[in-house]
Amino acid sequence: EVKLVESGGGLVQPGKSLRLSCVGSGFTFSRYGMGWGRQAPGMEFEWVSSITASGDVTYYSDSVKGRFTISRDKARNTLYLEMNSLKPEDTAMYYCAASRVRSGGLLLNQAWYNYWGQGTQVSVSS
């Protein structure tokens, strides 16, 4: 059974940092492109960041570029999202996902992801 389990969310003040983790199991983690997306209440789903299967190429939405960093640890089957300089508009449920697409622009499209986690809530407020 494929599982993706996110953790690390919480309530933080603007300007602070959080690191999200996503542990994958039941599939060959190193062969999958991975990514993070988010959805705020009443808002459309937004794709945030992706990383190729090899881990050598990363992608970011304009809204998080320069503040968020995606990475992966193949030995631990874990995907990370380091979020710095958090803003209230970053408040959302964050989901990790795995794609059989290993690299390329298709990783920016949520439709190409095969497996999804249950999400972890991030709230940014003073």
Strand-pair partners of 122: 10, 92
**d(C-alpha 55, C-alpha 50), whole Å:** 10
In our burial notation (b when 16+ CB lie closer than 10 A, e otherwise), range 67-93 reads ebbbebeeeebbbbbebeebeeebbbb
* Average per-residue pLDDT for the chain: 96
Position 125 scores a pLDDT of: 97
| pLDDT single digits (tens) 28-50 | 999 999 999 999 989 999 999 99
| pLDDT single digits (tens) 3-21 | 999 999 999 999 999 999 9
How many other CB atoms are found less than 10 A from the CB of residue 42?
5
- Helical H runs in the chain? none
